[in-house]
Amino acid sequence: MKKFAVVLSGSGVFDGAEIHEATLSLLAIAQAGAAYEIFAPDIQQHHVINHITGEEMNETRNVLIESARIARGKISPLSSFDATAFDALLFPGGFGAAKNLSTLAFEGANCSVNMDVKKAIKAMLSAKKPIGALCIAPAVVARVIQGVIVTIGQDKGTAEAIEAMGATHLNSDHGEVVEDSDNLVYTTPCYMLDATILDIYNGATNVVTAIMDSLK
């Protein structure tokens, strides 16, 4: 049975992992006959957003603890990730990828990437194992893997930031997967487009299917 490591960035689209993308990615992995383990960095998240009003709240939360809500408590700190124990690595999206896994939301093409995130991506790249990323998360991968080919959909500003990082961006539509066969990176836009939950299911499923096909 193939095994995925899924990296979350909190819980909630505006300050953490996008919950539909995270949950449907886990479903897609299970439907493909594979297993998964869930990880997140053990760090404070950048800020907390009220998901009704969009306003910042005067409190602090931990990325690992918040991600555990989606994982139903079964989660490990990303610092413990061992690439030799997994066949693939997957990053759902949400602003947490741009705020907690990296500083993309604040520094654009000049962003930094969390040390454990960078280490996990580089370990899988070195081992020639596939990496999947949804929504905004491909931009994080682009910051780590020089020259990678990715998609975040059709957002001009984000695409330009990805190109400024030295990566190549290809426009895509709902459910489409851009494959970088040299780096074994598989990306799809999900909620970077005006999407429905069915679009998210299709995108997550198509990325997982592409990864599983690469492992045959």
Question: Which residue numbers are catalytic?
Answer: 135
Count other Cβ atoms within 10 Å, centred on residue 199: 19
User: 38 φ, ψ to 5°?
Assistant: -110, 140
C-beta pairs of 158-167 under 8 Å, 24+ apart in sequence: 158/192, 161/104, 161/108, 161/109, 162/109, 162/138, 164/108, 164/109, 165/109, 165/139, 167/142
Q: What 8-state DSSP symbol labels residue 80? A: G
Question: Is residue 132 exposed (0-12), middle (13-18) or buried (19+ Cβ within 10 Å)?
Answer: buried
Nearest to 104 by CA among 164, 193, 20: 164
Reference 18, options 149, 208, 212, 201; nearest CA is: 201
Q: Label the pairing between strands 76-77 and 88-91.
A: unpaired
How many angstroms separate the CA atoms of 64 and 60, rounded? 13
